Chain A
Amino acid sequence: MMSIANTEQKPACTTGGLGNYLWSDPPKENKWADCVHCGLCLEACPTYEQLGQEQHSPRGRVHLIKSVAEGNLFVNEAFADPVFQCLDCRACTTACPASVDVGGLIEEARGQVRQAMALKGWKAMTSKFFLETLFPHHDRLHAAGSLLKFYQKSGMQKLVRKTGLINIMPEHLVEMESIMPEIKTPVRKKYKQEQVIKAKGVTKRQVSILSGCIMDVMFSDINEATINVLTRNGNDVTIPKNQTCCGALHVHAGDREMGRKLAKQNIEAFKDSEKVIVNAAGCGCMLKEYPELFHDDPEWQEKAKEFSAKVEDISKFLYDTGYAPPKAELNTRITYHDACHLAHGQGIREEPRDLLLHIPGVEMVHMPNADRCCGSAGIYNLTNPEMAGAILESKMANVPEDVEMISMGNPGCMLQMAVGVQKYGRNQRIVHTVQLLDWAYQKEEEQGSGQDGEK
């Protein structure tokens, strides 16, 4: 952006480090140079709201990241703490008058931290288990899913809860366990034999879906709903076989190398797709940001750019391409929670609301601070349970009393909000936007075909 006249200053080397960043792919100078330290981001930040401390605020983190580059700070534990306390919710990017990419800086800084030192203790275990052992491997995820399914169906769940075995689990895991969705058959397994799931009626477009790692195991009904809604609106759907986890959780955790690996696999897997439809906001955001991973690799960056241009969230895709609003009435009062990576990450706010409002009988109650993070933030609720819990508490305080459902567009949020509902004795059902739409279509079909009309 600006040319630096004095080139004998500290070199901003492209392959090596910068200041005290000694590893490849350091935080980019042009990202922090836009920050003028005005502070308008402070109140947008959930961790600042909780702690009131600058180092846990967006501009504070940017300041620290910059300080390392300027040689005033080292990449160490004390630097890692604020950098990893960040939820990566991107609310600061929305609030920032200069649109500073704080999220991008945080991820790059985490990359440096991870290369500088290994994780220890509980966090390391959790992180390693989910990120390395589980998510990138469909087979293992499915196996885990089956295990969970077994756990739920076999009566073992009841046993664990009854015997008090549950009492020896860490509290946040107990909370998690209690809201675990019922495990159904993953769509990848279900549609294994079908190359293309054909549109109902005339085919207008061909799209591919990202089935997701955890989504397909824990929330396969949402994938199912997504496919239904797409085919219902004239889209042939494919589920490319070689796709894998989007890598968002890895990149959030600083494992950019794994992120790149997964990105490459996905870019290849969706090579022939025209459109990549995503129903998980966090994944969608990551896919759109693949080019950020390849600053040092122009060839792949080019490919990543092409790929990213094809990615679209399901709600925006339906809104943009036109869809048939359902005719059946759902008669329910709902509220809508903006997933961070939808609202702040992708700027998608109105489209899902529009979809919901066009379902007959759906009444939407405004949730104050709807775009405030719920504390889920990938696996943040597992690695930083106390902070996540505090943030969830403020979130739940904003959920209107008199609604039956809370709709949103991200599975991570769904789990966290379900914990919230359970923990604070609320009774709302947690649904994905596309599920509501699918139910309305199903009802419409029932009413259209069945003689008995109303269920």
Chain B
Amino acid sequence: MGKNKVKTSDIHILNLAKLIFGPQAILYKKEDLLAYDCDGFTIERHLPRAVVFPTNTEEVSKIVKYCAENHLPFLARGAGTGLSGGAIPLNNEIIISLVRMKRLLEVDLENRFAVVEPGFVNLKLTNSISDKGYYYAPDPSSQYACTIGGNVAENAGGAHCLKYGVTTNHILGLEVVLPNGDIIEIGRNGIPDSPGYDLLGLLTGSEGTLGIVTKITVRILKNPEAKQTVLAYFDNIEDGSQAVSDIISSGIVPAALEMMDKTAIEGVEAAAFPVGHPKDIEAVLLIEVDGIAAGIDDQIELILAVCRRRNVREVKVARDEAERGRWWANRKTGFGAMGAISPDYLVQDGVIPRSKLPEVLARIHKISEESGLRIANIFHAGDGNLHPLVLFDSRIPGETEKAIQAGSACLKVCADVGGSITGEHGVGIEKKEEMRFVFNEEEIKAQTDIRNVFNPDCLLNAGKLFPTPGRCAEVKRELASKS
């Protein structure tokens, strides 16, 4: 640790190093940069020009201004757990890592908001206020590591957004460094509906293409009085998906309604947090209801009845918080757990109207058969948010491409039934061509028009989110060769 000793002939790196303070505040050697060549999406890799670690908004603004003035591409990065490649430096960007801006600045319980810096880890917010009975609702599976800044960029979801909504429903204010270096503040003091177009809504989920968020005001919620969690095993995936629809249409709004199929169960049971799911079942549902204790038993009874009507093999209610915790750990580490049964996976994120679940699952099964690749399904069934995990081995020539094709085919199926190509992971690099499955040329232009208002020179996170225009579309996606 210590002062920044920078030895390089790159004048921009020397200049940038002067703008920021702190130990190792800039990385520029290849060995250090290599770890920044991808995020949670590992199929494409590109080296950044440098990585800088500002510790406050002014430093971010200075860096951005410098980049803008010198026409250097740049992008922001949080924990790098994103699954669509939003933080991958396609254009040899300067990466502005926000992980050192990780303070919890304010908690106002009376007015139910908290102010955090973008590098603050999602789960830490809940941990910081749980002793007072409060929590932060959005809970992406990566919440142990992902930052709230990243959550804002991706409009992250999570298992409990069925009842409580996604990140955008919990953002009350943002401080943003615009691509020209200006600092603006939207939404003050946690007060909703500030006059003007809803820039909070627009920035949330803009995948770091409109500005760099440096301060975030989020809504915090009171813990529900009671929670009950149910695990239901089905011998048949149709029954499982039908039970999902039945639960929702019975008038219950579960806090979470998750599903895993047989292949997924094999993975989570082989990994670090097995809970003893039977190996021979086709689907497991994890259902959670919360709210006023007096009302919960009725809902549980109703859920149990629905499951039985749909031929559930076994259904059980978590005995205590410890058991509930184990069930959730098993589910939440599900993606990473695929490492235990496959060297690589590609996770997709299609979303469909709930009622199309049986049809879409059957079609995904067919894609798996045709491609010869196994596809595990771990998903937020209540939201209709599918996560087909295409299992493959990148060391086998051609298999990566095959996996990408299979993933894309899954998204096509989702789009065809009136759904969308991404529910919570974002478009990033990964799905930019698939944007055409859901938007036409004019609709994409409507969006790039908005981008151009904020980011006219396209220096900030260029090449993401939107398909390559016009004739370039047919150019085959270039893949970083992995062998």
Contact = CB atoms under 8 A, between A and B. Distances in A.
B1 interface: yes
Q: Is the interface of B mostly helix, strand, loop or mixed?
A: loop
B396 A37 contact: no
B35 A34 contact: no
A98 B34 contact: no
B336 A38 contact: yes
A108 B34 CA distance: 20
Interface stretch (B23-31, B249-257, B279-287, B362-370): B23-31
B463 interface: no
B343 interface: yes
Given A4-B396, A35-B339, A73-B31, A53 B53 contact: yes
The size class of the interface chain B forms with chain A is 35 or more
Interface string B321-340: 00000000000011111111
Interface in B330-374: 333-340, 343-345
Interface stretch (B139-147, B217-225, B232-240, B426-434): B139-147
Nearest to A98: B339
**Most B C-beta atoms less than 10 A away, residue of A1, A36, A37, A51:** A36
A2 B395 CA distance: 9
A60 B29 contact: no
B393 interface: yes
Interface string A31-73: 0011111111111100000011111010010011001001011
B27 A37 contact: no
A97 B1 contact: no
Contacts of A54: 35-36, 80
Contact of B336 (A1, A33, A97): A97
A95 B273 contact: no
A165 interface: no
B302 interface: no
Nearest to B346: A36
Contacts of A2: 343, 393, 395-396
A97 B345 CA distance: 14
Contact of B144 (A4, A57, A70, A95): A95
Nearest to B145: A42
Interface residues of A, number: 47
Nearest to B33: A55
A203 interface: no
Contacts of A73: 30-31, 34
Contacts of B343: 1-2, 33-34
Contacts of B32: 53, 55, 78, 82
Contact of B338 (A36, A39, A63): A36
Contact of B35 (A33, A36, A43, A60): A60
B331 to A, nearest CB: 11
Interface string A9-49: 11000000000000000000000011111111111100000
A96 interface: yes
B53 A52 contact: yes
Contacts of B146: 39
B119 interface: yes
A5 B396 contact: yes
A41 B273 CA distance: 15
A449 interface: no
B42 interface: yes
10 pairs of A and B residues whose beta carbons are closest in the complex: A98-B339, A97-B336, A97-B333, A78-B31, A54-B35, A52-B99, A60-B35, A39-B81, A38-B336, A55-B35
29 contacts: A2-B395, A4-B395, A5-B397, A33-B343, A34-B340, A37-B39, A38-B81, A38-B336, A39-B39, A52-B100, A52-B119, A53-B27, A53-B35, A54-B80, A55-B27, A63-B35, A64-B31, A81-B31, A97-B273, A97-B333, A97-B335, A97-B336, A97-B337, A97-B339, A98-B272, A98-B337, A98-B339, A99-B271, A99-B340
